[in-house]
A and B are shown apart, each in its own frame.
Chain A
Amino acid sequence: MSGTREPELIEAPRRSFYQRHERLILGGLSVVVVLAVWQAFWSAGRISPLFFTGPSAVVKRFAEEWTGGRLKADLVYSGTNFVIGVGLAIATGVVCGVLIGWYRRLGMVFEPFVAALYSTPRVAMIPLILIWFGIGMWSKVFIVFINAFFPVLINTIGGVRAIDSDLLRAARAFCASDWQIFTTVVIPGSVPFILTGVRQAVALGLIGVVVGEMFGGSEGIGYMTNYSGQTFQTDAVFLGVVLIACAGIVLTWLAERLERHFSRWRPER
């Protein structure tokens, strides 16, 4: 800012610490207040441990389960199923989506099935999945997969179909081969759509993990939560819910970051 006096005119007025972090401060404050009130009621003995629990009890339970219990093993089990299921869903969803979106006839052939399966609540298929895969790990993986697959598929199809025909024409004019058109126009153009699908797949895959474990088996966070409920260990149920919620928040945040990173060339963002 040398010489000219102009920058002073356009410089924004200095905002206070509170103004700059208003969202964080108000949001954080409300969480702290709610937790404090809850803890106060719990400490005063006004809450029945059978029906509800307190923040300190959840933390205590977490510490116990983490050091002495099966919590770590359960987390690894659920995490593994989630990663395999969502990973397979993304890989197959993108490939199928590109093919169905690009080849019109393929789209016509598969669309009735896609539409039917997409609109069926996937929970209704769990008994069938148990018959096919048993109650072991692979039925859980498949439930995650079937939950996460459709958002990736649907968004990829949409992304491929939304490719600007001007870009295809330009690529053809420069003698692009079909493969070059795929790699330089179709795939990069669909990436923002695919990542929207991934964000939804992460959220739905998480539901798949929990629900799958509630339908049989004896491992994982979903199982732990369900079992604790059946044996009236209310603090452990809360622990499970909090852990699942945290996983959801972190994973969705990561997926959003990824989505934004790859959409930075889009003018509307």
Chain B
Amino acid sequence: MHKLEIDGLTKRYYVERDGRQVLALSAVSLSVAEGEFVAIVGPSGCGKTTLLNIVAGLLPYDLGTVAIDGRRVEGPGVDRAVVFQHSSLLPWRTIAGNVRYGMELHRRVDRATMQQRTDYFIGLVGLTGFERHYPSELSGGMQQRVNLARALASDPVVLLMDEPFAALDAQTREQMQVELLKIWTHARKTVLFITHQIDEAVYLADRVAVMSARPGQIKGVFDVPFPRPRPLSVKRDPGFAALEDAIWGLVDARQERGDSVGRPA
């Protein structure tokens, strides 16, 4: 059973300045099964964030369908939660207040449950003891942990992640990847993960979809064969490098050099 079904999705932008139309997404189709972790890689400007925003219900679309559990997406819903690239935490709320935020807006659980879930997810992302701190007192990596806890605490069917580690330094990013997998094994959510880092996509996902720009299209989908749990050392596996190369080849085929798709050194 597919949790998330994207079928023939097309999105046009109108450029107000010269009245032109830009085809941001062209007939994008992708299915994500229950409990599956799917990553989308592509160069910046390929429309992958547009795709995620449409799935999140934050943008309207022109053609095709997006459905969760068979229900068409018409706007934001309690069945989805987004982890944004910028942590987007309310700076005047404490960490606990921010983790509670999604649940407060949804009004689906009572206060006691809210408190219990807040504590649980703060613990799960390893921030116990920071409940009363303000976001400005936390590092970028810790803020993204809060961001993740807020999304998980609202108990979505599908978790949408929009380049959540892109703004972090290399070491923190790698550490967060390991943490994310650990948390994901506990939370067992269906995940759609957007990134421009090929190694990040391969390390995290069950399947990697490759997007190209102008128009935004899915060029291919790769199965990632490595068993879980995956230690970081899997990144040094020859099979890992081979898969990266295959993905890179597909991305590169349509891209001029200089486009920003991360290729590990």
Contacts and interface: CB of A to CB of B under 8 A. Distances in A.
Contact of B76 (A172, A185, A265): A172
B262 interface: no
A265 B134 CA distance: 6
Contacts of B80: 173
Nearest to B104: A184
B105 A180 contact: yes
Contacts of A176: 105
B90 interface: yes
Contacts, number: 58
Interface in B127-175: 134-136, 154
Contacts of A166: 84, 86, 88
Given A174-B154, A175-B77, A189-B92, A265 B136 contact: yes
B58 interface: yes
Given A166-B84, A166-B86, A175 B105 contact: yes
Interface residues of A, number: 21
Given A166-B84, A184-B101, A174 B92 contact: no
Interface residues of B, number: 26
A169 B77 contact: no
Interface string A173-199: 111100010001100110100000000
Q: Which of A167, A174, A184, A191 has the most CB of B within 10 A?
A: A174
Given A166-B84, A166-B86, A174 B102 contact: yes
Interface of B: 56-58, 75-78, 80-82, 84, 86, 88, 90-93, 101-102, 104-106, 134-136, 154
Q: What 6 A-B pairs come out closest when comparing CB atoms?
A: A267-B136, A170-B88, A166-B88, A173-B82, A174-B102, A265-B92
Interface of A: 164, 166-167, 169-176, 180, 184-185, 188-189, 191, 264-267
